[in-house]
Amino acid sequence: MGKKNAKHKAESSAEVRFIGFVESAGEDWARIRIYPEFCNGLKGIEGFSHLIVIYWLHLCDSEEERRTLLVYPKRRTVNVLTGVFACRSPTRPNPVGICVVELLKREECSLKVRGLDAFEKSPVIDIKPYIPRIDSVEKARTPEWAC
């Protein structure tokens, strides 16, 4: 382990490395480009119909937004200050977004997906296969505004 990591552990932060980025994002589908040095990590991904994409909300990566803890969620019809951990606002201490997408096609180091709610050029941090047994809670309760 490098000195840098050891330092991170004693501190209150860590380093995330970008493994790829959102190459294009359209209404019907999006393309995620994984950098060649991480491409081997995709082996076997075709076996899954859905993926969880974890990405960096680079447009919200400012000190001001990272210090914001209360927001007015867009979906709320009544303006109520809500904690960032109680909504999906991109403004939050760590501008990390997650999105469940349908995998349409893998082409070598790129993934054509449907349902990605991310801007073009967003760096990608991780891809995980979606496993209903652990990821799907069909009847989870939410406040009405968040349904």
Q: Which is nearer to a copy of itself, 26 or 75 (CB)?
A: 75
Residue 105 has a CB neighbour count (10 Å cut-off) of: 11
> Between the CA of residue 94 and those of 49, 77, 140, what are the distances in Å?
28, 26, 24
Alpha carbons 80 and 22: distance in angstroms, whole number: 32
**Considering only residues 24, 25, 29, 50, which one is a binding residue for a copy of itself as defined by CB under 8 A?**
50
Alpha carbons 98 and 84: distance in angstroms, whole number: 14
Alpha carbons 50 and 130: distance in angstroms, whole number: 5
Residue 26 binds a copy of itself, judged by CB under 8 A: no
Residue 36 binds a copy of itself, judged by CB under 8 A: no
**Considering only residues 28, 78, 107, 133, which one is a binding residue for a copy of itself as defined by CB under 8 A?**
133
Q: What's the closest the beta carbon of residue 125 comes to a copy of itself, in angstroms?
A: 5
Residue 33 binds a copy of itself, judged by CB under 8 A: no
Q: Which is nearer to a copy of itself, 14 or 28 (CB)?
A: 14
Q: What's the closest the beta carbon of residue 106 comes to a copy of itself, in angstroms?
A: 10
Q: How far does Cα 121 stand from its chain's mean position?
A: 13
